[in-house]
């Protein structure tokens, strides 16, 4: 079973090799090829002769890439991530099956969002640099108690719910927004589903946890930023395209919001996961963004915990095993489900259904 991995780093290799040695895969003979290049039309030929491609968040699975993969004999794309906005599901239909890892450690991502928030709020990043330089002053480091403030969580799936629970633990009032509200959850933390406008207007912290879809691209834009409090901190561990970054830069420049903690950026595929420290940053928006003292940018690392990497490897290999053995597939994504408005629940509520329906 030959699997071509794209956009790989040493930790991917370590966790997948360790995963393959586990007892549950003793009946499988995996052969791994690890490529550092991102997957795109120009690199797709590297997958020739592999039945499976294992891709990550910044691999480009557009129609051209899919055509090239299909021509090279690839039968399965195993995404080692939850989001699948980088896959042209319509182009892939009928050619290659797509599976993903719907949840590996929602705690990892929610805890990172909380870390971004508190680092920014209490200026820990600035304090760290100051004390290392022998500067022990406190001027400019004044934060705010989270206790008694309001947090707005957009997207109350697995990750959003965990963050809401964490922030409730800080003593925050919780406002929620989701296409499918979970009232029982809201009640359990004394939270409330409110209109998006009210969430923007009342929240001191706004954290994004919905997938990127054509409908919610740029949900944070010049207009919605205007609705926010000056005290608002925006946290995004969802997808970069949820925010119109130019509008965010304007709002930060003009002091319209208090700060932004970002683990994702709309043009991140050009920079994230790579060492660009010896080159000028040619993306002017990114260059401006990282200059702000009240912006904290991490390089799509919210998922990066031991637990999550272990689970990503285990579930990805299990997806491949199920496919190879013809067992019911539980993590497939198909555009029919997405079109039917089940974009985020396709894999979790229709176990086996996509596989059974897709007789190609
Ligand atoms: P999930 O599928 O459990 O929850 C997503 C929720 O968003 C669902 O309840 C859905 O109904 C809701 N939703 C969809 N569209 C919406 C909209 N327009 N407005 C409001 N709510 C909407 O997904 P999960 O596991 O909580 O992950 C959320 C997102 O986090 C993923 O889609 C992915 O983009 C991102 N992510 C980021 C990671 C990182 O390392 N930074 C790692 C894992 C996921």
Q: What is the pLDDT of residues 15-64, one digit of tens each?
A: 999 999 999 999 999 999 999 999 999 999 999 999 999 999 999 999 99
Residues 113 and 231 in one domain: yes
Largest CA distance in the chain: 67
Domain limits at 201? 106-297
Residues 284 and 164 in one domain: yes
Beta-carbon contacts of 134 under 8 Å, excluding residues fewer than 6 positions away, are none
pLDDT tens profile 235-262: 999 999 999 999 999 999 999 999 999 9
Residues 292 and 337 in one domain: no
Residues 128 and 276 in one domain: yes
Average pLDDT per block of 10 residues along the chain, 360 residues long? 96 97 96 97 97 96 97 96 89 88 93 98 98 98 98 97 98 98 98 98 98 94 98 97 98 98 94 93 96 97 96 96 85 67 42 40
Residues 322 and 248 in one domain: no
Residues 183 and 318 in one domain: no
- Looking at residue 295, its pLDDT comes to 98
- Looking at residue 24, its pLDDT comes to 95
How far does the centroid of ligand 1 lie from the alpha carbon of residue 2, in Å? 31
Helix/strand/coil percent split, the chain, to 5: 40, 15, 45
- Looking at residue 327, its pLDDT comes to 82
Helices then strands, each counted (H, E), the chain:
15, 12
Residues 292 and 334 in one domain: no
**Alpha-carbon distance 193 to 155, whole Å?**
11
- Looking at residue 355, its pLDDT comes to 41
**Alpha-carbon distance 12 to 313, whole Å?**
8
Residues 291 and 179 in one domain: yes
Instruction: Give the position, in ligand 1's atom list, of the atom nearest the Cα of 156.
Output: 9
Instruction: Give percent of the chain with pLDDT exceeding 70.
Output: 93
Out of 297, 314, 337, pick the residue that ends a domain.
297
- Looking at residue 339, its pLDDT comes to 54
Residue nearest to atom 30 of ligand 1 (CA): 238
Catalytic sites, residue numbers: 239, 268, 300
- Looking at residue 338, its pLDDT comes to 57
Residues 151 and 244 in one domain: yes
The CATH number of residue 222's host domain is: 3.40.50.720
Instruction: Give the position, in ligand 1's atom list, of the atom nearest the Cα of 209.
Output: 28
Residues 223 and 235 in one domain: yes
How far does the centroid of ligand 1 lie from the alpha carbon of residue 211, in Å? 4
- The best mutation among 56, 57, 82 to test binding of ligand 1, ranked by most ligand atoms within 8 Å of the C-beta, falls on 82
Residues 8 and 141 in one domain: no
**Alpha-carbon distance 286 to 281, whole Å?**
8
Out of 297, 319, 343, pick the residue that ends a domain.
297
Residues with CB under 6 A from ligand 1: 82-83, 103, 106, 109, 154-160, 177-180, 209-211, 213, 215-216, 237-239, 263-264, 300, 302-303, 344
Number of independent structural domains in the chain: 2
Phi-psi region of 291 (alpha: psi -120 to 50; beta: other; left: phi over 0): alpha
How far does the centroid of ligand 1 lie from the alpha carbon of residue 93, in Å? 23
Residues 157 and 188 in one domain: yes
- Bridge partners for 154 per DSSP: 177, 208
Beta-carbon contacts of 132 under 8 Å, excluding residues fewer than 6 positions away, are none
């Amino acid at each position: 079973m030959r699997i071509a991995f794209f956009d790989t780093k040493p930790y991917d290799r370590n966790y997948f090799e360790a995963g393959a040695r586990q007892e549950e895969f003793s009946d499988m003979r995996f052969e791994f090829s690890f490529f550092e290049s991102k997957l795109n039309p120009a690199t797709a030929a590297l997958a020739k002769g592999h039945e499976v491609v294992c891709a990550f968040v910044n691999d480009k699975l557009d129609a051209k890439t899919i055509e090239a993969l299909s021509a090279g004999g690839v039968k399965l794309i195993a995404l080692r991530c939850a989001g699948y906005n980088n896959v042209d599901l319509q182009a892939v239909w009928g050619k290659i099956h797509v599976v993903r890892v719907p949840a590996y450690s929602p705690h990892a991502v929610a805890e990172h969002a909380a870390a971004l928030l508190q680092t920014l709020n209490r200026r820990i990043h600035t304090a760290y640099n100051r004390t290392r330089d022998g500067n022990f002053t406190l001027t400019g480091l004044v934060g705010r108690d989270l206790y008694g403030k309001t947090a707005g969580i957009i997207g109350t799936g697995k990750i959003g719910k965990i963050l809401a629970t964490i922030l409730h633990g800080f003593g925050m009032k919780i406002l929620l927004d989701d296409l499918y509200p979970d009232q029982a959850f809201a009640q359990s933390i004394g939270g409330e589903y409110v209109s998006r406008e009210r969430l923007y207007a009342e929240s001191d912290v706004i954290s994004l946890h919905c997938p990127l879809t054509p409908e919610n691209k740029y949900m944070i834009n010049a207009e919605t930023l205007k609705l926010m409090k000056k005290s608002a901190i925006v946290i995004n561990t969802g997808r970069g395209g949820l925010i119109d970054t130019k509008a965010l830069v304007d709002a930060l420049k003009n002091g319209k919001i208090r700060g932004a903690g970002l683990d994702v950026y709309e043009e991140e595929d050009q920079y994230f996961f790579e060492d660009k420290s010896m080159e000028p940053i040619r993306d002017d928006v990114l260059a401006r963004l990282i200059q702000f003292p009240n912006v904290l940018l991490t390089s799509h690392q919210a998922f990066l915990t031991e637990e999550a990497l272990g689970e990503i490897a285990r579930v990805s290999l299990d997806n491949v095993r199920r496919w190879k053995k013809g067992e019911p597939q539980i993590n497939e994504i198909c555009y029919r489900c997405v079109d039917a408005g089940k974009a985020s629940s396709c894999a979790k509520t229709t176990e086996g259904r996509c596989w059974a329906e897709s007789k190609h």
